[in-house]
Structure 1
Amino acid sequence: MNARLSLASSNAASSAAQEDQNTRLAGLLLELARCVNPELAREVPSRLEADPRLDAMRGVLIERERVALERLQRKFDDPNEFADAVSAVLPAAFTLASQDERLGQAVAPAVERATQASIRKNPRTMVDILYPVMGPAIRKAIAETLDDTLQSLNQAIKYSLSWRGLKWRIEAWRTGSTFADVVLRHTAVYQVDHVFLIHRKTGLLLSHVAREDATTQDPQMVSAMLSAIQDFVRDSFEEKAASEGHGIDSLRLGELLLWCEEGPSAFLAAVIHGNPPPAVRTRLMETLSSVHDQWRVPLDDFNGDTDALAAVDERLRPCLMSQSAEARRKYSPLLWLVPLALLAALGWWIGQRVVEHRRVNNYLAALQEQPGIVVTAADRRDGRWVISGLRDPLAVQPEALLSRTKIDPSQVTGRWEPYQALHPAILLKRLQATLNPPPTVILTQESNGVRATGTATQYWMDKARAYLLTLPAGAPQVDLSALQDVQDPEYLRLHDAIQARLIYFENNVARPGASQEPVLDAVAGEMRELIQVSRTLGFPVKVTIVGHADATGKENSNLALSVGRAEVVRSMLRARGVDPSMLAVRGAGPLEPLKPGASEAELQANRRVSFVVTTGE
């Protein structure tokens, strides 16, 4: 018995151990699947129990790394600590990144937007930044411009009243230049002998060009002397100029003139004999600017080696400009015929222009006199006269007035905008075109409006009054009080005859009986005659067929029956040759009885169709 119990307990223990191993193995397989498939790891929780020993060993092994990661995480989470960490390495990062041009490309859009936002917010800040640079440059440009202007004005006044001045005025008109420019071009005698390009920081000569017949000392020595003079002037006379980097612009010694133009890295010095025009200084400035644009890097990095600037000489050579004095010639008496011929041609041309202007003024006056035309501008463009303004569509055509002024129509272009004029003459034309008055109506223009006299039908008078209500405020007055209303006797006879006709019906019947056929024939004939008469008188006519019913029965049924009776009569009249466009139908039901009452005779009188004649559309 004990042996059996021992065997049973042994089997039970082995079964429990086996089950525990199976469970452990299933958990390991599940954990392996969770490690392989991340989606399964999110959906199925781990079945392995935590091992305290493994957690303790993990803490011992990675404690230092965990503390470092926590410290680093705090730096990222705290904005102040993160900013301190970035600021510690940012200068070194910019130093390294500045060697790569991609940094400038990446930062440029943000800097541009920040600059634009700053200027929009406070433009005064940008003005304060640019003032120390732009102020002296603007003052220098204004001073040079004033000097050039005074020189040109002095020469122009000197030669304005001479025969030579007259010849130069003709040249200025022929070439499209100003008289002062032509005088300065002919009187300025100068010659640029030398041009020096000198490095501004070191004072070394970068390039030198000279005329073939020019004499000079060693260019290097001249360059050093020019630099020394510039430094002496800056240090001795103008502290402000020295602080701002300004120097000598010009220096004259007798007939010798020295002009200097300074740039960021170099300055250009020109040795000139005589009195040069402003164009020489302009050439120097443009040349210096182009040299800086093309050789900016060699100029900034210059250390005494001029090999990189070997091609600068060709850029400086166009600055060697010159102009000699005009040779005095003795003219033969026959040459006096040339200016006389020119004067005669000029007089003829002036006379033609005067005649042309007079004709154009006459044409403009004729246009202004026409009602419905307003001239706003008259200009001469590209050899043609362009006349623009406002024109009412009913006004006279402007081209029709050209023949009176002897102006070539091909030399005049009109640009007219349409508008509605309120002049009485234009209003008279508009009334005649819109209302189409009959021959018996006479429209005449008065000083302050239009007056209508004669006789007209009531229809035409109503049409005229309705149109006058559409005229804009301030329009001239149209007087219709003198018109007399006239009705044609034949029209009145037919009008009264048709409205007196009645067609009767049986009870609850929509079609008239055979006894009403003669009445229908008579009505149809009268309607055809009425149409002819209305057309002769010049106004349309309309006949409304009104259906009626007695008061017996339901009201809706009686109304439908009255409309049906009117429709039947209209179809019967159309079959008798009456124009259907002049016929209209209306159902009155029992609402318009001819004889109110309930007797048979009264009911029979109300079962009818009547006619109403009206004029108008």
Structure 2
Amino acid sequence: MSQNKQTMHEEEALEGALSPIVNKLIDKNFENSGDKIATQIAPLIGGAIREQIKSQKDDIVDALYPVMGNMISKFVTKSFEEILNKINDQIQNGLSIATLKRKIKAKIKGVSETELLLEESSEAKIKAVLLIHKESGALLCKVEDDNATLSDADMLASMMTAIRSFVNEWVESNDKFQELGEIEYGGNKIIIEASGYSYLAVIVEGAAYTKTYEKIRAALEKIVLSHGKSIQNFQGNFETLDKESIEQELKSLLLETKPLEVETQKKKSPLLFLLPLLLLLYIAYVFYENSIDTELQESIYSRIEATPQLLPFKFTVDVDNKVATIKGRVPFEYHKKLLQKELQSISGLKAIHNKVRVVPTLTDPLQVSANIAYLLQGFNLAKNNNIRYDFDYNTLKLYGTLANKQTKERLLNALKKIQGIQKIQENIIIQQPNIDTNLYFQRGATTLDTTTKEALLKVIKSIKENQITTPLRLTAYSDMVGSKTINRELAKKRVQSIQTFLEENGVSNSLVSQIFDTPPPHVDAVKDPKEARRITLTLKQSKSDV
């Protein structure tokens, strides 16, 4: 006994001596190897937390909800603000037919445009439905859409139970009993509907409408009424549940699409159909009235054209709502009264506003046209002159052909002297006569014989009668008899003889010559030497001839 006491005293003495040293070593080790210690202890802490959640879940919730609750609240508030800002930007900046239709629809339904846009943002589609036991978090039953498969539904059920319990504990601080309603992630959401000893977790893609929530509640109510007792007594044995019957109820939710929109279309106000109809009727009425005004306008123009006394004058006619307004100018009051009288006989006109001005100094277009015709008749008597005209209220248009520029200038000067012509538009072509002539010489001769002189005199007469000032062209050819030098000299002398004869007979046109030591194209010098050594006289064509 005494030996045991002695041993205890020795241990206490040893502990008292080593404790300060060990504590210092531990503190120093923590300071120098903090990262290493954290790495080694982390797995132990993780396991301890999991064990604590299993055994004392409520204590963990009480410890974390002040921090987590505040964080969740801020996140939800911020997310909702961002959604509203995006929607408002779309409403304010959007300017399209769809935007206008949405504004009208929102007014008719009595909701804000933002709410309507949220409602129309997407189509609700239920992807999966889970029936979960409240207390244990066990997955009692599940149904899934063909295109959506949950990889680990049991894990999701446990997580949903833990999250639901956590949030419900947090909101109980407000002294009001509230349930977690839904969880959003990405474009989807999980709608949570609880009743009795179980709750439904419904995974929805897109926007969920009121009808969606009502159908989820109705399905859960049927399950609770039919299977509430077996769910209440559930102890982990799934054979106690009628899973087939529960699945049938859950599958009915997968048919949920977008009933609200369908019902809205069925319950549309008759005003929505009446307004487009009234708009169409108004448009048809406007088109009908415009067609009547157009027909009346055409009738007025036809009546004016059918009245010889009014035909020379220019009038503008405007018809609006069967009221005609006439503007223009006439030389006498007689013409204005005649116009009024003719238009009054047109049926369908409500009123006639005759704003035609009487201008005494205005020349009678008929007289002006007669003077123009008389002048042109004299000019057209000359050969190669053929001028026609159109006269439309002070504007004269000329087109046709004249023999030369001099005649054109004399014609335009004469027309300018006729009173009543303010503007002349002409498209006159100078049609010069054809004076092309072949001149022939005897072999080796350079003088003009009688036949050649007679041919030249005809050309000279045409030049003088038509006042042709265009340069003349002489083209000399050779019969290739003898040397090229001799043939070129003969051609030059023949051209000189022709030029001298023209000048002696009063032709002052400039002359351009071209000499070839070969026959004309397609001429055989052996068979027809006379044609081979001819000289051709023509007019030199240029842009100024037109």
Shorter-chain TM-score category?
under 0.3
- Which gives a bigger RCO, structure 1 or 2 (Cα 8 Å, sep 6+)? 2
Task: Give the TM-score normalised by structure 2.
Answer: 0.28
